[in-house]
Structure 1
Amino acid sequence: MVLTARRQELIKILEATDHDAPLTVKQLAGRFGVSERTIRYDLDFVEEALRHKGLALCKQTNRGVWIEATAGLTELPRMAFRDYVLSRRERCQAIVVYLLAAGQAAAAEELAEHLLVSRSTLLADLESVKELLVKYQAELASKRGLGLWIEGKEKNLRNLLVQIFCTGTYDVSAPEQQAGEYPYEAELFHAYAGTLPVAELATFMIRLLQEQGLSYTDFSINYMVISLTVQLKRLQQGRRLEEADSGGLSGMSGSFFNGLARQMAAELSRYDRRIGEEGEVNFIIRQLLGSQISCFSRLDEGERQKVNLLALNLAESFIKSCQRWLGDIYVDDEELLYGLALHLQPAIERARCKVTLTNPMLPQIREKYGELFAIVLKAVREIEQELGAGLSEDEIGYLTIHFGAAIERKKSRAQKSLKVVLVCGNGIGTAKLLSITLKSRMPYLDIVKVLSLYEWKQQTVSGVDLVISTVPLKRQDAAVLHVSPILSALEMQVIENQIQSVYHKKFAAVEALALSGSLLGLKDVLLPSSIELDVRAGCWEEAIRQAGRLLVAGGAAEERYIDSMIACVKKIGPYIVIAPGIAMPHSRPEDGVKRICLSMVRLAEPVSFSDTRYEPVDLVFAFGAVDHESHFRVLSELWQMLKEPATVQGLRQAADKAAVLALIPDCQPEFQ
């Protein structure tokens, strides 16, 4: 029976739904962004499919829907529909893998039959395949009577395969995973690997990294196992990396990974002697650099101090650049500072060596934290000269996670509750973000352990109320809730519904948590009463006081907020100078802000903030936020104004307040 991707996902959600907390049709329609009528039609289709599996779809008016086992079944079996209708992205991935695995031309009819699609659908998919290949400097070649094949440099084709297989999070060492239960990329990978010793490679990598005392994540293991599998497969096909291509691998990490890669090649030569060739060893070095494996613990004391100083200075500059637009102070968040420093050190080296880091969560990050991602992206672009390299959007996605965790930390409230184990296969930053996001929305969660997938296999769960995992798990002795690494608002509603049911069963009471707020725009906060033109100020401190007084006079802030803004500049420095001649002083929400507010002061004579890049300053925008997110739209629209030279010139030449307000853009915010 064929199920569409939406119906597959619908079944997964219903499987995770407790019968004491059923989901309504309205909730499901919101989750998928479709009409209630469409959901009802899907439920009718799903009900028939479930019946063939011995399951019952239960419906109750004013209550919701859920799944129950029929007579004779003690628990719900995991669903596995192999007749899965692939998305276009998945079909494109399947075409690339099929052609590269075949190692020879394939007819269009052969591909259409493999994908179970029509010729017209295949032709449309091939156009998307061409677009994908361009990103890897490859192309789709064809010849009448011969078929289709892929051409490109071997290094780029290997990177393409690794990127495809790393898109999802799954246990690469478990080929018996059921279809529909794990990402489609898992099925593609194991089909591609064939008889190659994937489980042995996973065991080898774990043992090697533990012997070396190196820090790693589940992603690190998966990434390296996938990379080595692709390498061995391509060697089987006679596709060798002839060129040494070692340029740029002489940094601290590169030097250490050089030795480690040669050790790996020596041990792996039992599978293929060619893996010890120089080009193949350099492939392993580059994959190690992109694997998030940290070699910091293996550096000598002098190298560590050098790395520490460089990374901490960069992290501090980066935080200062970001917090200009975050409306709060983050440079004193030591967890953020050191977390960024640990990530930036290898990130800079990857960028310098042109090694691409794969971030399978990037689409989710951009969807969930779009505004924050844009702020982080802007901050990275500002300090790229200091970084000495340009960072990819995949890297920026991970930096966004660190900032997201810092924001959630500010919002979280300590409160005891359900004992939870969190299993996350996407790294420390993601685990922290997920942990803090869950606790900020549900402060009754007591996350007692955060484990990787490989650590989970060796753990007992006695005394634990719930296991929350980003990776599908099978465990008879614990209740397991499978979640996405980056949670959307709708997913959070569904998950909160399930967790509250568990809480209710244990404590017979659940606090209803609700966060609400409206997003104000620039026109809502920059009012005539908060604008003053041609103001005289003898120094930067007086300029901030003049702008702050407008906030106080409008009832948006307390007098102490002015002193706090000045204190921040004295303590942190002139980070508030955001562009040539423009400063945006602000402080923490708890320092006296009553509502989201913004004032503008145009100085009659510029003043110095001791910032040599953007001196002197003649436009001062004092800003106040009441929380850590609701002000993003205001700052986004302000940035749209200030990034346009003509608009900034208009602010400097405006004859009156009306002329200033007329410059506010009527368009969508950029931080999305």
Structure 2
Amino acid sequence: MRVEYISDRLEQILITLGDASEPLTSAQLAEKVKVSARTIKKDVSELNAILKDYDAVIHARTGVGYKLSVNDEFLYNQFLTELKRRELRTAQTVPKYRYERVNYIVKKLLTVDYYLTIEDLVDELYISRSTLTADLKEVREIFKDYNLELTSRPNYGILLVGEEIAKRLCIAEYFFHANISTGYFAADNAMFVSSTNQDEIRFVRDLLEEIMEKYSIHMSDQSLQNFVIHIIIAIRRWKFYNYVKVEDENGKVRQQSLIREWPAARELVERLQTKLEILLPQEEILYFALHFKSKHITQLDEITSEEIEQVEKTLYDIYRMLQKRFGVIAINKDRYEEYLRMHIPAMVARLRSGLVMRNPMIYDFLNKYLFSTHITMMISDILEQNFSVRMNKNEFAYLVLYTNLLFSTESRTHNGKILVVCGRGRPETITLINEINENHAALAGSIEICDVSELENHDLHQAELILSTVPLEASYAVPYIYMDGRLSYGEQIQQSIKHNRLSFRKLRQYFSPRYFNGSLKGSVRDEVFREVAKGFDNWKEILAMFWEAEHILSHETTKGVVFLHTLKPLPESFIYVGFLKKPIIWNKLWAQAVIFVNINDDLDSLRLGYDFISEMINDPREPFSGKLTDYDSLIEVLSKN
């Protein structure tokens, strides 16, 4: 195919002429591609020799310039498709790691609209057939999150099938949002570096802002930028006749519910049609109306009574679940309910349309609020059942913030007894009692005070910590901390309660040799899931639960540690710790340790478990940075930190 011999310069000239609404002079083209005007004339002649096979030609008019003319749009688009295929073959280097290969295959399947043979992929990636089979398993799991499917056909290969909306969402994620460090502004994206693209971005953004103001649609700047990207993706897809398809009846029902968004989307499509000189099907209006709906900041007066009723039932189910599992009744409900009443209806609409609200801070939220992430898994299960939706990890991350709000101001009392030893007589004892009563009332019931002279005969069976205002020479079975006076008594006591050694004493029962593996095998997620699940009697059920939770959270890593989750708790309480024989890429980040927290006894123990693990993985001494191969080494490390 002669397309293979088109140089990058010839392709740039062709694209420039294709995008131009008016003829371009040789000087203008020469400036664009950084060559002489004489070279442009030679290049145009060479291009015409190729375009003749596709019923297209570049006309040259003296004093006017060059103009691309296409007689057969279908044939010419076949030519552009061949160009696109060539770009995909040459633009990227051969992936080295599995996660790079998986991303490469995902992007390739999203870009082409024809079957890819296994043999071609094997040759292209320089891997074995068995390696490709393992990679495709990961690829299928990724596409499953977007309701896309890989179909196989004998003697033809594999093809990505699914709704156009789903493909556009996946394109946005893997071509534009794969690296969250680049930010969310469309103009900053590496794929939009040319001046032509920058002009296009400005036009789309200005048009959106104008329409939003006209129809009183409010959205965050982040959502606006995301919408710009989706419009530009749509424009690219239209060039190859990839349009949104919706069954008539479903389209009519949706249109009736988009009172404000439909006219806004209709005007957006009309303005784009005029700008691009194309004609679009009505389904594209629905597509953009759903974007307006999903990104619009909902106000309380915009929520229907039916939606409020569903939210109230969901709130009741959440509280019932927390009470049944953990005995929690008194929690910070007011602000939590206020926000969820506005958030849930809009979130459900986004999940149903597939146009979820992207969260660029997703991993920061999940890594920072480990305990709230665990509780949100259970809340998500309730939401999925009550609204018949499938949760998305971006929406999940926002729910984590609300869950953290729910528990952030809950009073947390200390259940164990703390023995405070005073060594400076009655005045010091009275001072300490007054300070605790006035400033730390929640601790008062947990504290017992005695003089240092009485300590030898004091009953220590109920005490789990000794704090002393003077150094103690004798040793005791109970952990002991000297209060050196650098902090107030109350502050020292609170800090001591959070001390890792004390926390580990409470959590020690959840660590056992059965739930430790110092040599986990596996080079991909599925293999690691299997290895962890095999430590349980009902391992097949556990394996299915890991994958069930994967669609929400992707079990992402923080500092090389993967946290596993299940939507429903397991009967036994434990903290599972495993170390991989070799670090692997877990989705996008490196992982070397696996942790699975499942504590059902009470909410304080569950929270303490996550807080303890969080402190451990963020400890400057990095206790999880190495590989612990035996259980005793793990316990020694945990008890010393």
Using the size of structure 2 for normalisation, the TM-score is: 0.42
Structure with the greater relative contact order (CA < 8 A, sep ≥ 6): 1 or 2? 1
Higher helix share: 2
Give the structure with higher Rg (CA): 2
